[in-house]
Each structure stands twice: as C-alpha cells, then as structure tokens.
Amino acid sequence: MSNEKPPTVLITGCTDGSIGHNLVLSFARQGYQIFATARRVSAMSSLIAIPNITLLELDVTSPDSIRTAHETVSEFTSGKLDILYNNAGVRFMSMGIDTTYKVAMDTMAVNFSGIVEMVHVFSDLLIASRGKIVFTSSGAGKLPVPTQAMYNASKAALDSYAMTLRIEMQPLGVGVINVITGQISTGADTMGTQALPPLDAKSPYKPIEKALSKFWTSDRPMMDVKKYSDAVVQRVIGKSSPEVIWMGTGFVWWMNFLNLAWLFNVLMAREFGLNKLNMEKV
C-alpha cells in the first residue's frame, strides 16, 4: 500500500448546496484531502461525515481568521498546500446610483480584498508545493449587467488581479487559474435568481422597476452545479491546466472572442427596459 499523501486543496465559501460545496465533493471524488471553509462550520453540516474533509471556520474579511486557518493547514500538511481555491463571494443587488459606500466596501471585502489577503497569507504554502491558485470569477466581470454594478466591478477587479498575479507567480512555479463562471443552478438560493430589492419611491428608475426585476425572476438556462464543479475540477487538476476556464458562459465568451463587446450596451439596455426609460415620465 502506498504511503504517499493525497494532494491538498483549501476551498472558501463551502456552505451547503453552494458552488463551493459541490467543488468539495468533486475534489473528494478525485482523492484530495480537502479543507472546506465557511464563516460558520455549522453551515457545512452535510460534509461532516465525508472522509478526507476537514471543516474550518474562515471569514475571508478577517485577517486574523485567515491567519488562524493558515496555521491549522500548515501544521496538518507540513507547510504545503497544492491548491488554494478562492470561491467565496457575495452579490448586493442595487442600481449604480443607489450603491452606497458601505455596500461597495462590503462587496469588495469578500469578492476582492479578502482574496488578496488569502493569497498573501497562503502564498508560502503554495510556493513550497509549486501549487495552484484558483479564483471563482464571473461573466459579470466582462458584461455590464444592470442592477449589480458593484458586483460586476468586483469581478472585473479580480480578473485584472489574476492576470497580473499569474505573471508574478510563474517564476515561483505557482499556477494561477481564473474560472469565468456563468449562470449556475444551485437550488432555491441560486445567486442568479436573487431578487432586486424594491426601489425607493423617488428613484428615477421606478417607472421601469418591473422590467428591472423581470430579468431576475424569469426562467433562464442555467448550468447544473454538479456538472459545473466536476468539469472545472477536472481541468484545474490537469497537468496542463488552462490559465482561464470559461464555464457556463458561452454567450459572453463568443461576444468577447468576436470583439463584439460594444453590443453589450444595446443588449443590456433592452433586456432591462432601460431603453424605454427616456420615454417614461421620470
């Protein structure tokens, strides 16, 4: 019997039923030793009985929490980590002019700043193993989707960070993979079906509120989360992993590939009824 230790991966944002939860299961099927994390261990209760999974409390917006997790993982793995999978994310729904400083800071804290701190703290373990850093990004970083301007901006910032980090980490033997994710079905709490909160009565967008909300409540094709996670993990663990993985984002990929990004403005304005706003009495 081989005494070789299984490869290791730490995944953030692993609450039951989420993308992170399914990534844990996909890595488990590949024989990985997994550190599954969330702000509350109780939020990952369905993973408790699965072998080779260690549940850790980790708040990516807390440097102290991140350092505590690092100490635990480092002790368990003798100072090495094969994959750091930055998956945790949040989305606050609001129009651009309704986005407050607090909303902006809270969004960036999870979707960007917390990721930067995770990479900073865990970099020594990844360099020691010549491992990989993975990000769950979004097609929203490439597409100006109305009602979620701050979320779009946070993912665009993550994309730029990943591109730069990839160049910097290459001579250290660490790979950087950015997973551009589309609409993924994870059940009732699917982020893509999150409702737009009611607009203020004085909002200039009030006349088209129904159109703005309709997009998020209408049926749209979504990729099954198990199919998504299995496909992503297979590509992440491959010997020649791609730098960017597009998954469930066919429309956005084609628009970028054909250099038709300018059409986004027209299509998004029409989809959300913004092209009719100037015809309404505001």
Distance CA 32, CA 221 (A): 31
Return the H-helix or E-strand segment holding 188: none
Neighbours of 51 (CB within 10 A): 7
CB 9 within 8 A of CB 232: no
To the query of whether residue 228 is one of the catalytic residues in this protein, the response is: no
Beta strands in 173-250 (DSSP E): 175-181, 184-185, 223-224, 244-247
155: annotated active-site residue: yes
Catalytic-labelled residue, pool 32, 80, 142, 151: 151
Selecting among 142, 155, 161, 205, the annotated active-site residue is 155
Residues with a catalytic annotation lie at: 151, 155
